Amino acid sequence: MDYLEIEGQQKLSGSVEISGAKNAALPLLACTILFKNRVEICNLPEVNDISTLLQLLKNLGASYTFEDDCATIDSSTINNTVAKYDIVRKMRASILTLGPLLTRFGHCEVSLPGGCAIGQRPIDLHLKALEMMGANIEIKQGYVLATAKDGLKGATIIFDKITVTGTENIVMAAALAHGKTHIINAAKEPEVVQLCEVINSSGVTIEGIGTDELIIHGNGGELLESQTITVIPDRIEAATYLCAGAITNSEITLHKVEHSHLLSVILKLQEMGFSFEMNNNSLTIKPTPKVLAFNAITTEYPGFPTDVQAQFMALATQAKGSTIIEERLFENRFMHVSELQRMGTKIRLNQNTATIEGEQSLHGADVMATDLRASSALILAALVAEGTTRVHRIYHLDRGYVALEKKLSKLGAKIKRLKE
């Protein structure tokens, strides 16, 4: 098993290129089930989750090629509608095959998902919406058994809670449904927006893209026309590198970024005293004489993202004053706190709120990644810690970051991947 070894207290400089967004690429890969012929998807990040979903599509009968950062997927040959536990357990996003398989074939069996242990993320909202569209849903032996013999029907769906994958699943299901589907309280994340734009440009009209109300005019089962898709930049990867620049108080430049997707992160860093230079698709973070403490509450887009909460917690250890972070989306997303404390951080927890003391001197330690974003927080803390830090169980990291140690090394960090 691999681990990362980091020598701390190195100043960073230079530039790094941001990869395509994993969380945009996954629903786009699932969406290829709806297409009548080959679809090319470029700017795909070469991370484990992408490989897993491509393998799942292959297991269903699709074929694909993957060269450089482009995959060409042909789902016209799908002849199996069972997404088996052995592969679904590796990644929650596999549930995204439920909507497209059901709407195209009228039946499917999808294993209940696995993924990071950051709290309950039930799929009951997905299932309730599909039932409202006429599906019959049963849970048997750990599988979702879904049937819609006469096809899915358009319906008005009100999500009780904003759900990104739920919105994506129902948008894909509605694309081939009979009639109009109206989704109220839809997720507005850029990854959802791109999926809607792709489906909209492939022959299915979607109104309200980018808002919390979507109207999908289902085409009654006609498969979509293929196109070439370029995955949007990964805003969470970009935010992580901005935090790397901030925690080391270094000037670094990110290339291939979408500024508007990072607005809440940029504003929070500006609140802390950092300034920015923006040029087309690049973004430079500038050092500050004094790093200021902050308060943050995680919420849905366009608010402060839960996926950067751990990274900002590491950053807060270097700020002047006490920082308060409230986690409102996942009840178990403070598991990184105990590992950060092994490095000397002073963090107090009160249910879903963390208070972090600033201006802390951290020291290297052996720590263990507990989920994807927690692993990046430990690496950020290691960048400013005295001595050597070893981050274990980095298979979590490999699910969502492309060659993180190589990119950080290019910026001047002393980091290397080793075998246990």
In the chain, the amino acid numbered 31 is C
E strands along 321-382, which residues?
323-326, 347-350, 353-356, 366-368
**Given CA atoms 252, 281, 256, 206 in this order, what sign does their dihedral have?**
positive
Q: How far apart are CA 375 and CA 127, in angstroms?
A: 32
Instruction: Please name the residue ranges forming H helices in 82-231.
Output: 85-88, 98-105, 124-132, 164-175, 190-200
Instruction: Check if 116 is active-site.
Output: yes
Q: How far apart are CA 280 and CA 299, in angstroms?
A: 28
Q: How far apart are CA 170 and CA 191, in angstroms?
A: 14
Helix H or strand E encompassing 395: helix 395-398
Among the options 108, 116, 196, 243, which is catalytic?
116
Total residue count of the chain as it appears in this document: 420
Q: How far apart are CA 169 and CA 226, in angstroms?
A: 19
394 DSSP assignment: T
Q: Which residues contact 13 (CB under 8 A, 6 or more apart)?
A: 250, 251, 252, 411, 412
Q: Which residues are designated catalytic? A: 116
